Amino acid sequence: MLLSILRWPDPRLSQSCAPAVLDADLRSLAADMLQTMYAAPGRGLAAPQVGRLVRMFVMDIAWKTGDPAPIVFVNPKLELLGDRVLGPEGCLSIPGPVTDIERNAEVRVWWTDLEGVAQEGRFDGFAAICIQHEFDHLQGILTLDRLPPEPRAVAEAAVVA
Protein backbone atom coordinates (compact mmCIF):
# COMPACT_ATOMS: atom_id res chain seq x y z
CA MET A 1 0.00 0.00 0.00
CA LEU A 2 1.29 3.45 -0.87
CA LEU A 3 1.78 5.66 2.16
CA SER A 4 1.62 9.45 2.39
CA ILE A 5 5.02 11.07 2.79
CA LEU A 6 5.12 13.81 5.41
CA ARG A 7 6.40 17.15 4.20
CA TRP A 8 8.46 19.74 5.98
CA PRO A 9 7.62 21.57 8.25
CA ASP A 10 5.53 18.74 9.77
CA PRO A 11 6.75 18.61 13.40
CA ARG A 12 6.92 14.79 13.40
CA LEU A 13 9.93 15.06 11.06
CA SER A 14 11.86 16.78 13.86
CA GLN A 15 11.24 14.12 16.51
CA SER A 16 13.66 11.41 17.58
CA CYS A 17 12.31 7.90 17.05
CA ALA A 18 11.72 5.06 19.50
CA PRO A 19 13.25 1.62 18.99
CA ALA A 20 11.30 -0.51 16.52
CA VAL A 21 9.65 -3.74 17.64
CA LEU A 22 10.08 -6.50 15.09
CA ASP A 23 6.61 -7.91 14.47
CA ALA A 24 4.11 -8.43 11.64
CA ASP A 25 3.10 -4.75 11.72
CA LEU A 26 6.71 -3.63 11.23
CA ARG A 27 7.21 -6.10 8.36
CA SER A 28 4.07 -4.77 6.70
CA LEU A 29 5.26 -1.20 7.24
CA ALA A 30 8.62 -2.04 5.63
CA ALA A 31 6.89 -3.50 2.54
CA ASP A 32 4.64 -0.42 2.27
CA MET A 33 7.64 1.88 2.71
CA LEU A 34 9.53 0.16 -0.10
CA GLN A 35 6.51 0.43 -2.40
CA THR A 36 6.15 4.11 -1.45
CA MET A 37 9.87 4.80 -1.96
CA TYR A 38 9.86 3.24 -5.43
CA ALA A 39 6.71 5.19 -6.43
CA ALA A 40 8.06 8.51 -5.11
CA PRO A 41 10.66 7.77 -6.77
CA GLY A 42 13.38 7.76 -4.13
CA ARG A 43 16.31 5.68 -3.02
CA GLY A 44 15.71 5.81 0.73
CA LEU A 45 12.78 6.37 3.07
CA ALA A 46 12.68 6.49 6.88
CA ALA A 47 9.69 5.50 9.00
CA PRO A 48 9.17 9.02 10.43
CA GLN A 49 8.71 10.28 6.86
CA VAL A 50 5.48 8.26 6.74
CA GLY A 51 4.40 9.26 10.24
CA ARG A 52 5.76 6.25 12.15
CA LEU A 53 8.24 7.36 14.80
CA VAL A 54 10.21 4.11 14.96
CA ARG A 55 13.87 3.41 14.17
CA MET A 56 13.62 1.84 10.73
CA PHE A 57 14.50 2.90 7.22
CA VAL A 58 14.56 1.29 3.79
CA MET A 59 17.08 1.87 1.04
CA ASP A 60 17.67 0.74 -2.52
CA ILE A 61 20.38 2.73 -4.25
CA ALA A 62 20.59 0.35 -7.24
CA TRP A 63 17.03 0.17 -8.55
CA LYS A 64 17.15 3.24 -10.81
CA THR A 65 20.18 1.98 -12.76
CA GLY A 66 20.08 -1.80 -12.29
CA ASP A 67 18.32 -4.61 -10.51
CA PRO A 68 16.49 -3.74 -7.29
CA ALA A 69 18.48 -4.51 -4.14
CA PRO A 70 16.39 -3.28 -1.20
CA ILE A 71 17.72 -3.28 2.35
CA VAL A 72 15.58 -2.78 5.46
CA PHE A 73 17.47 -1.38 8.45
CA VAL A 74 15.74 -2.00 11.80
CA ASN A 75 17.21 -0.24 14.85
CA PRO A 76 20.45 0.72 13.06
CA LYS A 77 23.59 1.89 14.81
CA LEU A 78 26.08 3.93 12.83
CA GLU A 79 29.84 4.48 12.92
CA LEU A 80 31.15 7.33 10.76
CA LEU A 81 34.34 6.54 8.86
CA GLY A 82 36.46 8.05 6.12
CA ASP A 83 36.96 11.61 4.99
CA ARG A 84 34.26 14.26 4.97
CA VAL A 85 32.76 14.96 1.54
CA LEU A 86 30.36 17.62 0.29
CA GLY A 87 27.65 16.55 -2.10
CA PRO A 88 24.11 17.18 -3.31
CA GLU A 89 21.14 15.70 -1.44
CA GLY A 90 17.43 15.82 -2.03
CA CYS A 91 14.71 14.65 0.34
CA LEU A 92 11.26 13.23 -0.36
CA SER A 93 9.96 15.22 2.64
CA ILE A 94 11.43 18.47 1.32
CA PRO A 95 10.38 18.52 -2.35
CA GLY A 96 12.26 20.91 -4.58
CA PRO A 97 15.63 21.97 -3.27
CA VAL A 98 18.78 19.90 -3.65
CA THR A 99 21.36 21.08 -1.14
CA ASP A 100 25.06 20.41 -0.62
CA ILE A 101 25.50 18.52 2.65
CA GLU A 102 28.77 17.46 4.27
CA ARG A 103 28.87 13.77 5.19
CA ASN A 104 31.39 11.02 5.88
CA ALA A 105 32.54 9.10 2.81
CA GLU A 106 32.17 5.75 4.57
CA VAL A 107 30.07 4.21 7.35
CA ARG A 108 29.78 0.97 9.26
CA VAL A 109 26.23 -0.01 10.21
CA TRP A 110 24.83 -2.61 12.59
CA TRP A 111 21.13 -3.41 12.21
CA THR A 112 18.53 -6.14 12.45
CA ASP A 113 16.86 -7.43 9.30
CA LEU A 114 13.17 -8.33 9.03
CA GLU A 115 13.91 -11.94 10.01
CA GLY A 116 15.45 -10.76 13.29
CA VAL A 117 19.01 -11.54 12.20
CA ALA A 118 21.77 -9.15 13.28
CA GLN A 119 23.58 -7.63 10.31
CA GLU A 120 26.73 -5.57 9.89
CA GLY A 121 27.93 -3.80 6.79
CA ARG A 122 30.42 -1.25 5.60
CA PHE A 123 29.21 1.19 2.94
CA ASP A 124 30.88 3.92 0.94
CA GLY A 125 30.01 6.37 -1.82
CA PHE A 126 26.35 7.09 -2.45
CA ALA A 127 25.23 4.25 -0.17
CA ALA A 128 27.08 5.84 2.79
CA ILE A 129 25.50 9.22 2.04
CA CYS A 130 22.02 7.71 1.76
CA ILE A 131 22.42 5.79 5.03
CA GLN A 132 23.53 8.93 6.89
CA HIS A 133 20.60 10.88 5.41
CA GLU A 134 18.04 8.26 6.48
CA PHE A 135 19.71 7.76 9.87
CA ASP A 136 19.38 11.52 10.42
CA HIS A 137 15.61 11.16 9.96
CA LEU A 138 15.55 8.70 12.87
CA GLN A 139 17.20 11.39 15.01
CA GLY A 140 14.73 14.08 13.89
CA ILE A 141 17.37 15.81 11.74
CA LEU A 142 16.61 17.09 8.24
CA THR A 143 19.03 18.24 5.55
CA LEU A 144 17.82 21.80 6.25
CA ASP A 145 19.13 21.43 9.81
CA ARG A 146 22.64 20.78 8.46
CA LEU A 147 22.77 24.06 6.52
CA PRO A 148 24.11 27.42 7.67
CA PRO A 149 21.41 30.12 8.03
CA GLU A 150 21.77 31.76 4.59
CA PRO A 151 21.76 28.57 2.46
CA ARG A 152 18.94 27.22 4.65
CA ALA A 153 16.80 30.28 3.91
CA VAL A 154 17.44 29.82 0.17
CA ALA A 155 16.51 26.11 0.40
CA GLU A 156 13.37 26.80 2.41
CA ALA A 157 12.25 29.34 -0.19
CA ALA A 158 12.72 26.68 -2.92
CA VAL A 159 10.47 24.06 -1.28
CA VAL A 160 7.67 23.07 -3.66
CA ALA A 161 4.27 23.54 -2.01
pLDDT tens digits, the chain, 161 residues: what are they? Answer: 999 999 999 999 999 999 999 999 999 999 999 999 999 999 999 999 999 999 999 999 999 888 999 999 999 999 999 999 999 999 999 999 999 999 999 999 999 999 999 999 999 999 999 999 999 999 999 999 999 999 999 999 999 98
Task: Report pLDDT for 71.
Answer: 98
Task: Report pLDDT for 38.
Answer: 98
Indicate if 134 belongs to the active site.
Answer: yes
User: Residue ranges of the domains in the chain?
Assistant: 11-157
| Yes or no: domain 11-157 corresponds to CATH 3.90.45.10 | yes
Catalytic residue among 79, 106, 120, 134: 134
List the one residue out of 24, 20, 28, 111 whose CA is nearest residue 71: 111
